[in-house]
Amino acid sequence: MEKPIIIDEFHSYKVDCFGTNNITSKKEFSLFQKMLNKQIELNNLTYPAWKEKLSSIDWQSAVLVEAGKLLESFGYKWWKKQEKDIENVKVELIDILHFLLSDLAYYHKNVTTEAFDEFYNRGFLNDSLDIEKDFSFKRYLLKLLHFSVNKEIEAQFFYLAKLFKYTGMDFDEVYRAYFVKNILNEFRQKNGYKQGTYIKIWKVDLGDGEKEYEDNQVAYHLAKQIPLEKLDTELMKELEKIYKEIKK
């Protein structure tokens, strides 16, 4: 019996379409660069020596850990009943994006355009390779991890986009979710998170009367009301304004 031929979606599509579908959107590429620059800012804030002390292996090790947590939420235990937590799958995918951007920012920055092209044009815009089954989702996640060993970060962005699409997220939603998490992390660092003085539960009115919310809930609520192009500057201002009132 002949062994089935296993086609590598990333490489087969890259060979077929590279150069014919290589039309990047200026708007989306600008947003991608904003995410990259924001990741550098966050790394500088949380661990100033990251360029000297960390390597690609560190970022990819973090990706591996997040992938494990993602599978816990997605469900992999065939021997017991499990319920998918797709909302947490989205959170873990955003965390993976943070680490891949960190790796790209310093150790693979020479392929930034290619990484974006795989992420947006071939990942989000192309529907021919979209994931339809749970088996395919797990297979694509393993592919993403496989390419961390081969040091082809462009491929990792390709597979990450497909994983995002499975959860129903488009590029704009990913951008918004990334900035909410990134800016909130920065805000926490600047307001005593490491020292243990940060207030995580906020009593605010989000349109349904004054109630207690976790800071991330407030951040996501605010982000929905801010245009994508202004999210990186306006969200921080809004968080600072509300937190100032909370601390009175």
Query: What secondary structure does DSSP assign to 65-80, as a single string?
Result: HHHHHHHHHH---TTS
Tokens of 240: 């600072």
**96 domain-assigned:** yes
Say how far apart CA 82 and CA 91 lie, in whole Å. Answer: 19
Render pLDDT for 154-209 as a digit per residue (tens, 0 to 9): 999 999 999 999 999 999 999 999 999 999 999 999 999 989 999 999 999 988 89
| Residues 106 and 13 reside in one and the same domain | yes
Q: What is the domain range of residue 161?
A: 9-167
CA-to-CA distance for 13 and 32, rounded, in angstroms? Answer: 22
Closest by CA position to 124, among listed 97, 88, 157: 157
- What does pTM read for this prediction? 0.82
How far apart are alpha carbons 119 and 140 in whole angstroms?
14
The token pair at 234 is: 């306006």
User: Domain check: are 20 and 103 in the same one?
Assistant: yes
Same domain, 100 and 70: yes
- Residue 89 and residue 202 share a domain: no
Q: Is the model's pLDDT at 70 over the cut of 90?
A: yes
Give 20 or 234, the one with higher predicted confidence: 234
